[in-house]
């Protein structure tokens, strides 16, 4: 089964898509990017951590 | 990943990150990683002045050399900055408050506003008015200036570079591994990958972020 790396990213700049694609091809790990709005990223990280929603 | 160290450092004490002293990061200057390696910076962006050469010309004598210069009457109603929606603006002035004190920065902002500082919604929105409205100089990230420079519009000036000055604010895109994540080894591999010279060079070529 292909492993998946989830990247929580506050912004879409810089555009890291080329780096994601290279990492996928070199490691066989798929990369899924989920946006977290950067302005309140601190509280969202804490909430995710406590809820164990995603990891 | 974030565009600033600020958010990750703010939340570091809560223990949401799994510290990772990546081999490359251990060679970094201290300011490019958390003291416990909870977060690591991977590209830097200086906060500079975007200069409109159509207004100020090519002689750097007429360009602002520091933030204080932007309070000068010769730049009245011809300067701008992104709003506090941008973490970059927040980080720049927060850093300045630490370096020079609250009172100084509050007075500086008052003087900038009195000199007609234009406030734009975001960094992206600063570029077009610079040319369209013949503004002289804007506070911006160097990557924005780079994009604009490719279109022949502006150049960047690093402010406050004299020996006794505060220097240029340089922030950094930053990555952290989340504690308890499903794929910690893959996450660390990805961090190592981001920090390689090859990917740093790629990001510099594609996005004008400084390695």
Domain with residue B146: its CATH number is 3.40.190.10
- B13 belongs to a structural domain: yes
Count the domains in chain B.
2
Question: Which of the pair, B171 or A32, is modelled with greater confidence?
Answer: A32
Indicate whether B133 and B68 sit together in one domain. yes
Please tell me whether residues B38 and B50 are part of one structural domain.
Answer: no
Q: Which residues of B touch A55 (CB under 8 A)?
A: 178, 180-182
What are the tokens at B155? Answer: 């150049």
Quote the minimal CA–CA distance from A44 to chain B in Å.
Answer: 10
* First-last CA distance in chain B: 16
Do B74 and B123 belong together in one domain? yes
Assess whether B131 and B29 both reside in one domain: no
pLDDT tens digits along A1-55: 578 999 988 766 667 888 999 999 999 999 999 888 766 777 888 887 776 654 4
**Which of the 8 DSSP states describes residue B159?**
-
Q: Say yes or no: B102 and B198 in one domain.
A: no
Within 8 A of A17 by CB-CB distance, chain B residues are: none
Query: Which of A13, A20, A46 has the highest number of chain B CBs within 10 A, making it the mutation to test binding with B?
Result: A13
Are residues B68 and B54 part of one domain? Answer: yes
Q: What is the pTM of this model?
A: 0.79
* Co-location of B57 and B135 in the same domain: yes
- The ipTM estimated for the assembled molecules is 0.85
Residues B188 and B96 in one domain: no
Does B203 contact A13 at a Cβ distance shorter than 8 Å? no
B128's enclosing H/E stretch is helix B124-132
The residue behind tokens 């890291």 is: A16
Nearest chain B residue to A46, by CA: B16
B169 min Cα distance to partner chain A (Å): 19
* Cα–Cα dist B207/B118, whole Å: 26
- Does residue B166 form part of some domain? no
Residues of the domain holding B64: 46-157
| Residue B182 falls inside a structural domain | yes
Stretch among A36-40, B123-127, B161-165 having the lowest mean pLDDT: A36-40
Of A5, A31, A46, the CB nearest to B16: A46
């Amino acid at each position: 089964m292909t492993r998946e790396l989830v990247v929580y990213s506050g912004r879409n700049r810089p555009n890291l898509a080329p780096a994601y694609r290279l990492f996928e091809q070199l490691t066989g790990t798929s990369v899924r990017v989920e946006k977290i709005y950067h302005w309140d990223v601190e509280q969202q990280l804490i909430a995710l951590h406590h809820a164990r929603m995603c990891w | 990943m974030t565009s600033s160290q600020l958010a990750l450092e703010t939340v570091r004490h809560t223990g949401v990150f799994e510290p990772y002293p990546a081999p490359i990061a251990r060679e970094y200057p201290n300011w490019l990683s958390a003291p416990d390696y909870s977060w690591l910076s991977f590209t830097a962006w200086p906060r500079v002045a975007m200069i409109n050469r159509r207004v100020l010309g090519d002689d750097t004598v007429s360009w602002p050399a520091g933030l204080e210069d932007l309070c000068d009457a010769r730049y009245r109603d011809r300067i701008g900055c992104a709003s506090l929606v941008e973490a970059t603006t927040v980080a720049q002035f927060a850093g300045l408050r630490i370096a020079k004190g609250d009172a100084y920065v509050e007075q500086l902002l008052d003087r900038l506003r009195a000199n007609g500082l234009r406030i734009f919604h975001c960094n992206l929105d600063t570029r077009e008015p610079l040319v369209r409205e013949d503004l002289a100089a804007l506070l911006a990230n160097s990557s924005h200036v780079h994009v604009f420079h490719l279109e022949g519009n502006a150049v960047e000036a690093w402010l406050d570079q004299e020996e006794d000055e505060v220097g240029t604010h340089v922030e950094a895109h930053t990555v952290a591994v989340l504690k308890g994540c499903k794929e910690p080894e893959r996450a660390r591999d990805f961090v190592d990958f981001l920090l390689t010279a090859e990917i740093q060079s790629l990001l510099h070529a594609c996005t004008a972020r400084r390695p």
